[in-house]
Amino acid sequence: MAVSPLVVENLSFRYRDRSATAIREISFEAHAGEILLIAGASGCGKTTLIRCINGLAPRSYKGEVGGQILLYGENPKDWKLSQISQKIGTVLQDPERQILGTKVVNEVAFGLENLNVAREEIIDRVDEALKFLKIFHLRERETFTLSGGEKQKVALAGVLAMRPSILLLDEPLASLDPASAQDALDTARLLADQGMTILMVEHRVEDVLRIQPNRVMFMSEGEIRYLGIPSGLSKVANYREIKLPASEIVERAKLDPPPAEIKILPGAAGRGSEKEALVRFEEVAFGYDAEVEVLHGINLEIKRGDVIAVLGPNGAGKTTFVKHAIGLLKPKAGRVLVNGHDTKQASVAQIASTLGYVFQSPSHMLFAPTVREELAFGPTNLKHSKEQIETEVKEALRIVNLSDKEQDPPLALSFGQQKRVSIAAILAMQSRILVMDEPTAGQDYQNYMNFMDSILQLPSFEAILFITHDVDLAVIYANRVLIVNDGRLIADGKPQDVLRDFDRLKANRLVPTSLLALNLDRLGATSRFMRAEALAHV
């Protein structure tokens, strides 16, 4: 009988600097040619499990290990990481954290160079990996100029070139546009069909179910709650905890009371005309270098009551576009007006009192010794009163579900919690317009749905704009959708008008979801897009 590639027996792990155990009594076996999807909320122990399997824990992440792991029947406890890495390849959540090489060819060759493989063989294996992933044309490109999807594929090529038989993918879809995510999943299916064992940690369960993983593991509080065929998952997992296909949510939600109606931007009405533009882009063009223009003639008005979702592929210019709204970038041609004032004539700090901007990465802004002080920083700069700041901080913490972390150092929190602190830090500034760049990245489903619900019901905001790769976020929350591609505004309209054109979605690397399809099906009865739980009661 063939030996299993991977056997995990009663595995437990506790990080050296923490009192609680991160994972407890984990046991399972993974087979050759299998895709095992590992799902669960943030902090459930998924990443720790991956670190134990690839050897980073306890070698780099020190701690106490219980139980054992067997790779092809052998216990790798005393192996060096280099030995393990020849059998197990790992692609980290963020390819930016994994890529080391200056050029694509150097990046893919890195592992083979370290194994002292002959130069000619390295070249052959690099080219083979690049061709397999259909990215041979990127061979000589500099890695930092690649789009998110391209970086993900290059990181994968670097691992595949080492020919591992087990592949660990830690949230591989987190930074990808829908079409790139689909490509990545198809590649995983192909590799599994060729005999590779794949363990994939992923929040976007619905997307992964499309490639028919053999089994699903659902983790909670460091333990396995479910391990079995995918169809059994919806019976054990709460549909509010992980993102299931819309039809399954509808079936389950029918048994529950209808969800409370979300009153979007309750403060927008009554503060002025809905026709008045809060932000106006007039023929805006921009380029980081004089020779290359990345935004071309953008015309747009953000009006009171708008909840705008900005969709588009990786590298389309979405972030460049919204950075103009707060004056971090000034147009090379045209102008941007915020509250009627040209951003060229105002400092970013002045605009910040009107327009709050949440950056993609929290690690570039967190600095204070406590979460409370971090949140008070913005309002203090804007000269809010002490009493006002106290209220703003408490309210912001409540919205992002971090009230119990008020005195904790923000830098000691998990990535997901840090992201929520960064959102709360802007919420506390009580700006009239909120702009968020991928607010849900790195968050689990339940958390981001909760804080999106809360943010949209805040009375202080008159308009909200968010960049996202999640089409469902646009379906559920937006009353206006923009598609940006190649620095141009491709579409601007109501979600039901913009998102019904599947050809246009495909051309802009967007993929229709089951929730979108269901909403379009029922549009005659609902006349607007709704979340799946609400559709269950229509």
Partner 1 sequence: MLVAWRYRNRKSLIQSFDPRAWLIFYACFLVSTLAFWDVRPLLFFFTLAMFVLFTSGVTWKEMRRAFLFIIGFVVFFAILTFLTGRGGSELYGQEHLIRQYKASFSILGWTPTLDVTVERAFYAVSQLVRVSSIAVMTILIPYSLNPSLYGVTFKGLGLPDKFAYAMDLTMRFIPTFARDFQLTMDAQRARGYEIEKLNGGIVEQVRKMAPIFVPVTIHAIISSEDIIDAMDLRAFGVGPRTWLEVLNRDLKDRVLIWFGVAILVGSLIAGFMGYGKFWVPEALLRLAGG
Confirm or reject binding of residue 442 to partner 1 (CB under 8 A).
no
Q: What is the CA radius of gyration of the chain?
A: 24
**Count of residues binding partner 1 (CB under 8 A)?**
68
Q: What is the nearest approach in angstroms of partner 1 to the Cβ of residue 112?
A: 7
Q: Give CA–CA dist 459/120, Å, rounded.
A: 64
Q: What is the nearest approach in angstroms of partner 1 to the Cβ of residue 29?
A: 23
Confirm or reject binding of residue 426 to partner 1 (CB under 8 A).
yes
Confirm or reject binding of residue 158 to partner 1 (CB under 8 A).
yes
Among 281, 357, 445, 448, binds partner 1 (CB under 8 A): 357
DSSP assigned state of 9: E
* Token pair 């479910």 in the structure block, residue: 226
Strands 166-170 and 88-91: parallel
Whichever of 89 and 213 has its CB closer to partner 1, that residue is 89
Q: Give CA–CA dist 92/225, Å, rounded.
A: 24
Q: What is the nearest approach in angstroms of partner 1 to the Cβ of residue 329?
A: 9
Confirm or reject binding of residue 429 to partner 1 (CB under 8 A).
yes
Confirm or reject binding of residue 114 to partner 1 (CB under 8 A).
yes
φ/ψ bin of 124: left (φ > 0), alpha (ψ from -120 to 50), beta (otherwise): alpha
Q: What is the nearest approach in angstroms of partner 1 to the Cβ of residue 115?
A: 5
Confirm or reject binding of residue 116 to partner 1 (CB under 8 A).
yes
Sheet holding 488-493, edge to edge: 355-358, 433-437, 463-467, 307-311, 480-485, 488-493
Q: What is the nearest approach in angstroms of partner 1 to the Cβ of residue 17?
A: 14
Report 253-282 residues binding partner 1 (CB under 8 A): none
Confirm or reject binding of residue 56 to partner 1 (CB under 8 A).
yes
Residue 144: helix, strand or coil by DSSP? helix
Q: Give CA–CA dist 466/318, Å, rounded.
A: 10
Q: Give CA–CA dist 370/389, Å, rounded.
A: 15
Closest to 517 in 3D by CA, of 532, 533, 538, 527: 532
Report 325-344 residues binding partner 1 (CB under 8 A): 326, 328
* Site map (CB under 8 A) of partner 1, residues 74-93, x = contact: ------xxx--xx---x-x-
CA–CA–CA angle 386, 390, 392 (5° rounding): 115
Contact positions toward partner 1, by CB under 8 A? Answer: 54, 56, 59-60, 80-82, 85-86, 90, 92, 96-103, 105-106, 109-119, 122-123, 126, 142-144, 151, 158-159, 162, 290, 323, 326, 328, 347-349, 352-353, 356-357, 359, 361, 363-367, 377-378, 381-382, 411, 425-426, 429
